[in-house]
Amino acid sequence: MTPSVKERIENLIKEHKILVFMKGSKLMPQCGFSNNVVQIMNSLGVPYETVDILQDNELRQGIKEYSKWPTIPQVYINGEFIGGSDIAIELYQNNELQEMVEVALAS
């Protein structure tokens, strides 16, 4: 990953309390896993941003290296990598995701 890609990723993560790197956008998810995360975030009713990694191959590869996580989507809350679709679903079902989001938005 180039230093400029790393800087772009870090700036995006710092800029947004809740950020999802995904295939497509929150209005048009392009895969089922990304759609799962969008549905969860929408059900929480919180503000969040998405980054469409399909639009930028450098970013697509860079985010995987940055997080050391091989799959998309990737959820970041308050600058911290939370995980992908399966982890988001599990945290949501345990009400832990709601708590993380509330803490992030309060800070």
Per run of 10 residues, the mean pLDDT along the chain (length 107 residues) is 95 97 97 97 96 95 96 97 96 96 92
Structure tokens at 73: 């989507």
DSSP 80: E
Would you tell me how many other CB atoms lie within 10 Å of the CB of residue 90?
12
Would you tell me how many other CB atoms lie within 10 Å of the CB of residue 47?
11
CA 44/CA 67 separation, integer angstroms: 24
H helical segments located in 1-107: 3-15, 32-44, 57-67, 85-93, 96-106
CATH class label, 3-106: alpha beta
3-state SS class at 89: helix
- Given phi > 0 = left and psi -120 to 50 = alpha, else beta, which region is 65? alpha
All structural domains of the chain with their residue ranges: 3-106
Biggest alpha carbon distance in the chain?
Answer: 37
- The predicted pLDDT at position 107 comes to 84
Instruction: Say what the pTM is.
Output: 0.95
- The predicted pLDDT at position 44 comes to 95
